[in-house]
Structure 1
Amino acid sequence: MAVSKTKYAYAVGRVRVLETRLLDKGKFDRMLEATSAGEVLKVLAETSYSSYLAELTGAYEFETILRKEMANVLADFEKMSPQPELVALIALSYDLHNLKVLFKNKYLGVENTDILFPAGAIPLHRLKYAVEDENFREFPEVLRRAGEQILDEFVVSRDPQLIDLYLDRALFELRLTSAQKARSGFLEGLFQRQVDLLNLNTFLRVKKMGRSKDFLKQALLPGGLIAGELLLELLDESLEELISRLSTTRYSAVSGEGIREWMDTGTATRLEKLSDDFITAYLQRGRHSPFGLEPLIGYLWAKQVEIKNIRLVMVGKINGLPTEAIRERLRNVYL
């Protein structure tokens, strides 16, 4: 159901204050110039992350503060949004991440509980119980169906890619359906673009593996703006043909530069950066809306990008990467 945009006035006012605390390019430049991960943390001590730093016993534990910050942001936004169920659509990605980890722990005999996210739209203890007891009845229909498909098919195929496939499909089906019900063209456009960019990445990986069109058809997510039929048609063509066919679309810059680097290096690093920057540019268009959902969703994305950039810098410093190698991986900041 649509909600009067004026109901967002208070929440947008809060966002304007929070935006002033986002890390700008200058802060990231200082982090890049730091000589070690410990020195990066000293820069973070001057920011909104300072309250978490006392809990750390060393730079290698930095991931703890990033997860806590994002969890706190999500909790605050669900409280202040007139439509918390739409904010929950963003948090849902962390639930799906947790489900992927829990399913793989269960079926592959691994123990990766340290990478579980502490807060999403569904409490972590409920996710653990559902996977352990193989009972998804209390979940939304789309997630219940995905969980049951994994239970039925993984025992036969033993293919961990099925876990990612069914959960990614469930995530975007739920997101797109909810955006349409809310009559939010803005949200629907966001999720459609995310589907397209994920499908481009999937296309490249499937092509590199030499898999069939049937495999690609199963792997592609529905609901994007790029027709799945186009990607299926191009699977047996050169990547230059893919670039040519996308050159007149909104994805021309992303596909041109990102796919060419893939062709040269065999990695999707540049494509993933350009994809994130593309979503940032889309969300920036709604940033100055005085009322409505757009500034809230834009801020949540900005925070996710900020945390991703901090992680890239910290990992780079810990592993002794050159400053320029780290810099070229950083995403554009939202402000």
Structure 2
Amino acid sequence: MRDTEYKGINTQIRVAETKLFSREDYEKMLRAEGLRGALDVLKGTDYYFDEQEVLHTKNFDQFLMARLQTVYDELFEMTPNREVVEIYTLRYSYHNLKVLLKQKLKEVDLEHLLIPIGKESISTLRNLVKTEQSEILDPIIVEAVQHALEDYKTFERIEAIDVYMDTYYYKHIRAIADELNNATISKVVDVMIDLDNLSTVIRSLNQQKSRSFLHTVLSSSGSIAKQAIIDAADQGKGALSELYLSQPYAKELDAILGDSRAEINPMMLDRIIEEIIDELMDEGKYQAFGPMPVVAYIFAIEKEVTNIRLILVGKDNQIDDQILRERMRPIYGS
């Protein structure tokens, strides 16, 4: 990957950023009178919907995901290295595999949970789940499905489907990062995996999960070895804190890991993790060259969809505006 390849697209990204929701836009939605008022704020934006249908069905995801799908389709066309975009769309592909596998194994209708985002079509993924083979898909995806189905045939653990798809998703984006051979992309992937492992291990410790459970659910694709995390978890919070407080993002984690005697609140940890990733995106979005402005824009549009969904659901359920503000993800440019 050559960073200079991104000079043209980064100019286009700057234009696209001007359409992202500002703090003022969110405030208009928050102050709006009910769900209808919040939807009125969305009129004239790139979120297209039938107002009467949405008011009747309350199916916000249909038009929110349609907007996200359009953005990803455009980015796939624009980006010199499509794999940069795929790092994020693969999350939807592996989500769809979870749905399709559970449909097959439990014989239930979960079609409404499928999300048509990503390079791999749902029909291609469906065929993989049916045949357990594919000449089209990446071997990592094929292996993920084969191992998940093999595990179910042996142990009948439906919950293992989620574990397999999550760990293979991280294995897949690690392979993409290694192939791209770009230091910035590698750093982003490291942070994503390492911090998700931290969140997982804290929750597992609070639930008194076994060492073997950690071996199963933690990803081995990050910059911190899975075995090192498990060994540190065995020794207690102090050792785990020491391991993570030696990382580049240690300053942000110190507030919650610095005191080895205090309990770690998983929700507070997740909030700090969001802030760390947000700061990483802020560092990269103004680069003139390289893929980071694209990555930062993807991060921003994903957060925008999350925030809009939160406000619409909140308005529909008459949740106080201040509570919604507190639950919102960081706002782009703020």
* CA deviation after TM superposition for structure 1 residue 244, in Å: 6.0
Q: Counterpart of 1:121?
A: 119
Query: Which residue, out of 65, 68, 71, partners 2:66?
Result: 68
Relative distance call for 1:169 and 1:160 in structure 2 (3 A) is same
* CA deviation after TM superposition for structure 1 residue 114, in Å: 1.2
Q: Counterpart of 1:150?
A: 148
Query: Which residue, out of 49, 53, 60, partners 1:52?
Result: 49
* CA deviation after TM superposition for structure 1 residue 259, in Å: 11
Q: Which amino acid aligns with 1:207?
A: L
* CA deviation after TM superposition for structure 1 residue 198, in Å: 1.2
* CA deviation after TM superposition for structure 1 residue 86, in Å: 2.5
Whether the aligned pair in 1 keeps the contact of 2:94 and 2:166 (CA below 8 Å) is: yes
What does residue range 103-142 of structure 1 map to in structure 2 within 5 Å?
103-142=101-140
Deviates more, 1:191-200 or 1:160-169: 160-169
* CA deviation after TM superposition for structure 1 residue 239, in Å: 4.4
Paired-residue identity, % = 25
Whether the aligned pair in 2 keeps the contact of 1:40 and 1:314 (CA below 8 Å) is: yes
Relative distance call for 1:188 and 1:265 in structure 2 (3 A) is closer
Q: Counterpart of 1:218?
A: 216
Whether the aligned pair in 2 keeps the contact of 1:180 and 1:188 (CA below 8 Å) is: yes
Long gaps (5+) in structure 2:
none
Q: Counterpart of 1:253?
A: 252
* CA deviation after TM superposition for structure 1 residue 38, in Å: 2.3
Whether the aligned pair in 2 keeps the contact of 1:203 and 1:235 (CA below 8 Å) is: yes
* CA deviation after TM superposition for structure 1 residue 71, in Å: 0.4
Q: What SS is found at the alignment partner of 1:12? A: helix
Relative distance call for 1:183 and 1:300 in structure 2 (3 A) is same
Q: What SS is found at the alignment partner of 1:58? A: helix
Q: Which has the higher contact order (CA 8 A, sep 6+)?
A: 2
Q: Counterpart of 1:159?
A: 157
Deviates more, 1:269-278 or 1:300-309: 269-278
Deviations 1:11-44 (A, max 9, x none): 1111110000000112122222234222221111
Q: Counterpart of 2:180?
A: 182
* CA deviation after TM superposition for structure 1 residue 319, in Å: 2.9
Q: Which amino acid aligns with 2:113?
A: I
Deviations 1:66-107 (A, max 9, x none): 100110001001111111233222211111111111112222
Q: What SS is found at the alignment partner of 1:328? A: helix
Deviates more, 1:249-258 or 1:201-210: 249-258
Relative distance call for 1:315 and 1:238 in structure 2 (3 A) is farther
Instruction: Tell me the TM-score normalized by structure 1.
Output: 0.88
Q: Which amino acid aligns with 2:181?
A: R
* CA deviation after TM superposition for structure 1 residue 334, in Å: 2.5
State the alpha-carbon separation in 2 of the partners of residues 9 and 53 from structure 1: 38
State the alpha-carbon separation in 1 of the partners of residues 106 and 72 from structure 2: 31
Q: What SS is found at the alignment partner of 2:297? A: helix
Q: Which amino acid aligns with 2:66?
A: K
Instruction: Tell me the TM-score normalized by structure 2.
Output: 0.89
* CA deviation after TM superposition for structure 1 residue 170, in Å: 1.9
Whether the aligned pair in 2 keeps the contact of 1:130 and 1:136 (CA below 8 Å) is: yes
Q: Counterpart of 2:166?
A: 168
State the alpha-carbon separation in 2 of the partners of residues 317 and 273 from structure 1: 23
Q: Counterpart of 2:328?
A: 330
Whether the aligned pair in 1 keeps the contact of 2:31 and 2:321 (CA below 8 Å) is: yes
Q: What SS is found at the alignment partner of 2:85? A: helix
